[in-house]
Structure 1
Amino acid sequence: MTAPIGLLGGTFDPIHVGHLRTAIQAQEQLGLSEVRLLPNHIPPHRATPDSAPKHRLAMARLAAAATPGLTVDERELNRTTPSYTIDTLIELRAELGQQPLCFIMGMDSLCSLNKWHRWQELLEHAHLVVSHRPGWKPTFDDTLEQLYQNHGTQDRERLHRTPAGHIFLLDNPELEVSSTQIREGVRRGNNPQYLLPDAVANYIRQQGLYTGSVV
């Protein structure tokens, strides 16, 4: 079976080193063929992004171009409906057949998974790869504890042998950086260097992002 494709969604407003290190760690630890960045158009669980879709797409492309193994999939930006993960996974499964898919998320997302749209169907179409601090044991409610007991694995080869259905906890030291922190820093006139790729920092300056209203 072909090596799995990783999928990392987000508003990417802006994309930063925390996103990129997670993508790189997942690719290296799990032997993924690539990681596709999926910028959201209308995130169901978050506020409307500060910058327009065209800018967030441009920044994701700049970051991917500077990072081997990363690509950008803009399908969610082309929708006018909320960016529900299940819709994206169903589309990709139809396109890719039985190739394994690994949807990458943070532990906070897994702990609130039962609030996601049609969450019970996600594992029918992909594996869930959950980034968390090494050595940290999460506390799930009863529903998610049962889900993890039924689908959890730490055998990466299972992610290669089957197209979907497993939950894998990825040891990934989290970087203390966030898009909110970067936006607020730019508004104050601070230099965001080393928090995101140079090409993205240059794009933010050239376009005047995060200095006023949404553009």
Structure 2
Amino acid sequence: MLGGTFDPVHLGHLRSAVELLEVLELDRIHMVPAKVPPLRGTPQVTPEERLALLRLGIGDTPGLIADPRELERDGPSYSADTLASLRSEYGSQARLVMALGHDAFLRLADWHLPQRLFELAHLVVIDRPDFEAPLPAALAELIEGREVDNPRALMQRPAGSLLRLALPTRMAISATEIRQRLAADRSVRFLLPEAVEARILANLLYHCR
């Protein structure tokens, strides 16, 4: 599972998903747009439109799934609920992984039922160059004894471990920067899949002119 607002989905999101598939030897990745993200402001674009953009971005890429389950659920988009749904779907012995970026990881102790996440899945943190900075005390306590250092060790059991992973291609693309560029009528070429860019421009999303 790779969740997020995908506001909008960009090549950094998609390339990370492909590399996670390869590095972790996963069967598939559910890319799950949040309907109501609990720890950030409401996205500018509707959940349905963000899902449509995600589907366009994924296209026919093997192993990537645009998963609408958080849009079909009422209330905040809690990852614990999404993982519980996936666990019910795949069974108790499946190796489930939730991937998240380093910035989100630093706030993990503030998430809804953070211990429950480890009961349901492994967590994989997509690291950035300064990931060795000290962790907040509550986060260090949450992950104590859970960290492994390679994908093989991660997959020894269905859930409960943490792997910090530097992906081969770390594309420094920011959805915030893309939204700002669109609002200012500046080019976003080569930051988004062409089909995503075309739909955004055609529908004047993010206040394009």
Cα distance in 2 for partners of 1:32, 1:135 equals 27
Cα distance in 2 for partners of 1:73, 1:195 equals 22
Q: What is the CA-CA distance between 1:134 and the residue it aligns to?
A: 5.1
Cα distance in 2 for partners of 1:106, 1:17 equals 15
Q: What is the CA-CA distance between 1:133 and the residue it aligns to?
A: 2.3
What does 1:127-206 align with in structure 2 at a 5 Å threshold?
127-133=122-128, 136-172=131-167, 174-206=170-202
Q: Is 1:126 matched with 2:121?
A: yes
Cα distance in 1 for partners of 2:24, 2:74 equals 33
Cα distance in 1 for partners of 2:191, 2:177 equals 10
Structure 2 residues not aligned, in runs of 5+:
none
1:35 corresponds in structure 2 to 29
Q: Write the deviation string for residues 115-141 of structure 1: whole angstroms up to 9, x where unpaired.
A: 001111110000000001257413112
CA gap of 1:66–1:138, structure 2 versus 1, over 3 A, is: farther
Q: Counterpart amino acid of 1:30?
A: L
Q: What is the CA-CA distance between 1:26 and the residue it aligns to?
A: 1.2
Q: TM-score, normalised by structure 2?
A: 0.92
Q: Counterpart amino acid of 2:153?
A: R
Q: What is the CA-CA distance between 1:96 and the residue it aligns to?
A: 0.7
Tell me how large the CA RMSD over aligned residues is: 1.6
Cα distance in 2 for partners of 1:113, 1:135 equals 17
Cα distance in 2 for partners of 1:34, 1:69 equals 4
Q: Is 1:114 matched with 2:109?
A: yes
Q: What is the CA-CA distance between 1:65 and the residue it aligns to?
A: 1.3
Cα distance in 1 for partners of 2:133, 2:84 equals 28
Q: Check the 8 A contact 2:102/2:131 in 1, yes or no.
A: no
Cα distance in 2 for partners of 1:44, 1:136 equals 24
Among candidates 89, 99, 105, match of residue 104 of structure 1: 99
Between the two proteins, the alignment pairs up a number of residues equal to 206
Cα distance in 1 for partners of 2:131, 2:35 equals 32
Secondary structure of 1:38's match? strand
Q: TM-score, normalised by structure 1?
A: 0.90
Q: Is 1:68 matched with 2:84?
A: no
1:3 corresponds in structure 2 to none
Q: Provide the identity percentage.
A: 40
Structure 1 residues not aligned, in runs of 5+:
1-6
Secondary structure of 1:41's match? coil
